[in-house]
């Protein structure tokens, strides 16, 4: 038996809003500052339809599915909170993506914010904020109270054990 060859996902994606084919072009004129020379797949009907998606640097492979302004804003916010999980050292980057895969109920290879719609972006934001708040609680007063001989609540036991 021969193995199937993997087909790279570098075909021009269709716009999920109007169905038009996207065109690969420079982000000049779309990004305020395109000093990094980003390339985008932009809906053929741009600017009437403002859907686009960036490509991986030096390739024609899209970083997700084209999105309109509202969804791009949500994806940026989801990435902001999600990235804090590993940037603050609460998880490794790989563990954060495994966590994301669990939240989305998808395989690890499909855990990318660039493929999410509005509902799942909101879910990632919400769940990331929960983890960040839990870790912020561990680093605040709980350890100090234990060090001073103070009694702690049941919810603080894990925090004190962490100290």
Q: What is residue 160's predicted lDDT score, i.e. its pLDDT? A: 35
**% of residues, the chain, pLDDT over 70:** 79
Domain ranges of the chain: 9-66, 69-163
More confident residue, 52 or 140: 52
SS3 labels along 101-163: HHHHCCCHHHCCHHHCCHHHHHHHHHHHHHHHHHHHHHHCCHHHHHHCCCCCCHHHHHHHHHC
What confidence tens digit (pLDDT) does each residue in 13-44 have? 999 999 999 999 999 999 999 989 999 999 99
Q: What is residue 137's predicted lDDT score, i.e. its pLDDT? A: 80
Task: State the average pLDDT over residues 107-119.
Answer: 95
Pairing of strands 22-26, 39-43: antiparallel
Task: State the average pLDDT over residues 42-53.
Answer: 96
Lowest mean pLDDT among 53-57, 122-126, 150-154: 150-154
Residue 114 has pLDDT above 90, yes or no: yes
pTM for the predicted model, two decimal places: 0.75
What confidence tens digit (pLDDT) does each residue in 89-109 have? 999 999 999 999 999 999 999
Quick check: 12 and 22 in contact, CB under 8 A? yes
Residue 138 has pLDDT above 90, yes or no: no
Considering the chain, what is the average pLDDT of its residues?
84
Q: What is residue 145's predicted lDDT score, i.e. its pLDDT? A: 40
Q: What is residue 1's predicted lDDT score, i.e. its pLDDT? A: 55
């Amino acid at each position: 038996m021969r193995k199937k060859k993997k087909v790279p996902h570098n075909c021009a994606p269709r716009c999920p809003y109007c169905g038009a084919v996207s065109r690969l072009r420079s982000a000049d004129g779309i990004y305020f500052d395109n000093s990094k020379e980003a390339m985008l797949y932009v809906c053929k009907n741009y600017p009437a339809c403002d859907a686009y998606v960036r490509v991986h640097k030096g390739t024609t492979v899209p970083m997700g599915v084209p999105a309109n302004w509202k969804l791009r804003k949500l994806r940026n916010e989801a990435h902001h909170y999600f990235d804090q999980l590993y940037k603050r050292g609460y998880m490794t980057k790989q563990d954060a993506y495994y966590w994301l895969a669990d939240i989305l109920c998808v395989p690890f290879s499909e855990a990318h914010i660039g493929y999410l719609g509005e509902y799942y972006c909101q879910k990632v934001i919400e769940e990331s904020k929960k983890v960040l708040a839990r870790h912020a609680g561990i680093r605040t007063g709980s350890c100090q109270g234990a060090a001073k001989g103070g009694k702690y609540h049941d919810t603080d036991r894990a925090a004190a054990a962490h100290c």
